[in-house]
Every structure is written in C-alpha cells, then in structure tokens.
Amino acid sequence: MNRRAFLRLAGLSTAGLFVPRGILEFPPSVRTAMENGYNFYGLTIDDGWSSAGVDETVDTLLQSRAFGLPDASATFFFVGRLLADRGRQVFDAFGDFRSFDFGYHTMNHPAVEEVVRWSSDDWLRDMDAWVTAGLRAGLGGLLVAFARSPGGVTTDAFLEACATFDTPLMPVGWSTEPYDWHRGRILIDSGRIALAHARHSDVGILAQALLIAHAFHRVPVNLPRLWTAHKVYRRACDESWGGSAAFCPYLNPK
C-alpha cells in the first residue's frame, strides 16, 4: 500500500501536515532529539493521573498493530503517586503490551511556580521517593535513567540533582509538545522526542500521529532504544568521517 492509500484508509491526507517544533526552549544539556539512521523517534507519555487514562493510552498503542504498525514502544514518565497508589497493579494496565519502561517525573507533579524553587536536595529527596515507589511496585528492571521535570522546568538545581543522583539521570525534554498534538495531523520527525499524556483527551490524536508517522516510515520507540540507535550512528559517523560529525551524511542529511 502506498503512502496516499494508507493515509486515505486512516481518513487523513497529506494536505496540512506539519512538522512541529517545541515551543519551550531547553538548554543543550537537556535532550529533545537523538538523531539516528533508523527513522526512530522517541515516544514519551507523561503523568498517568487516572487508571482509565493509562488503560486507554496503552490500548491505543496495542491497537496500532491492527493497522500494520510495528509494535510501538514508549517511555512512560509517570508520577510517583500513581506507582505508589497502584503498586503491582501498574502492570495490569500494560497487559500484552511489553515494550515500555519508566522515567522520573516527580512524586506529585508540583506546580511550576513551586518546582522552580526546589533546591538540588529537594530534587534528590523526590527522586529517591519516586524510585522507592517504583521498586515497591515491582518495576525495578523497568526504571530507566531518564528524567523529566513537571512543565519541562530546567533549573540548575534540577540538572545538578540529575547528575548527582545514585544512578545519574539524563534530563530529557521534547520537541513535539501537547499544543502541537491538538492542532492535529502532525508528522513526528526522525530522532525527535514526542510528548503525549496518558489521558482520554489525547488518545485520538495519539492514534492519528502514530498512523501519519508510520506512513512516512517513522517508528515510535522508547528512549533506551532511541539512545542506543543514536550512539550506534554517532560511532559509525565518527569512525567513517574522521571524528567530525559535520561531514557525516547520517547526521547531516541533504
């Protein structure tokens, strides 16, 4: 099936497709993209306030198989509150869906005005509480070394805590943000990190974005897989092009 036929099947057209750019500016130490040669993009899903919203989101990822998409994988930046409240039941939501892991997103998702005042000790205490909640929920092997703050807040205290936590955390932002999703018909570019939320109101647009990306041969993966793909290509470029990414055709597509 060609791209147009595929999109027609999904009730979409290429007219009006746009490639979003995040509105928030992140400092260079916070990754919003990881270039790679596989057309992978990172799918991240935040918050998880309601069990129903989590269930619906996972169902959407599972249903995407019915459209011939390869298994979508995703990194879930859940609040620690959900992990603490649901414990081992967190796994119930995932059922047949196997390709997932979790990144740090605070215990209780404080308001931006509050979280900008946190010291690095405040962050470290919260990271500890979040990891403890995850371990108690039995998620040990699925807690990955990525961190995202509420609202994408990037203070020096947050970055310092990420760097000095027991297992250092890599701060990640996003290049496709919630406002973009609700404009519809978005095409997520290769290497980009997309942010969605585990809630009812986002499920339709998430399904649409997955289909559009698939029509353009872009594959949603979780962050560990995106990071590995990125490292492989950096290394290939470094070895083949004298250590200068500036000449690497993979990192500098024409």
> What's the min distance (Å) between Cβ of 148 and Zn ion?
7
Give the range of 38-46, 153-161, 163-171, 199-207 binding Zn ion by CB under 5 A. Answer: 38-46
Single-letter amino acid code for the residue at 58: V
The correct pick among 35, 41, 42, 47 for binding Zn ion (CB under 5 A) is: 47
Give the range of 19-27, 46-54, 187-195, 219-227 binding Zn ion by CB under 5 A. Answer: 46-54
Single-letter amino acid code for the residue at 229: A
Considering the complex, state which of residue 131 and residue 251 has its C-beta at the smaller distance from Zn ion.
131
Give the range of 26-34, 45-53, 173-181, 225-233 binding Zn ion by CB under 5 A. Answer: 45-53
Alpha-carbon distance of 11 to 218, in angstroms, equals 19
CB-count exposure of residue 216 (10 Å: 0-12, 13-18, 19+): middle
Q: Does residue number 46 form part of the binding site for Zn ion (CB under 5 A)? A: yes
Q: Does residue number 202 form part of the binding site for Zn ion (CB under 5 A)? A: no
Using an 8 Å Cβ cutoff, are 172 and 147 in contact? Answer: yes
> What's the min distance (Å) between Cβ of 80 and Zn ion?
12
Which ranges of 48-155 does DSSP label H, i.e. alpha helix? 51-63, 80-86, 90-94, 112-115, 120-136
The binding site for Zn ion (CB under 5 A) comprises 46-47
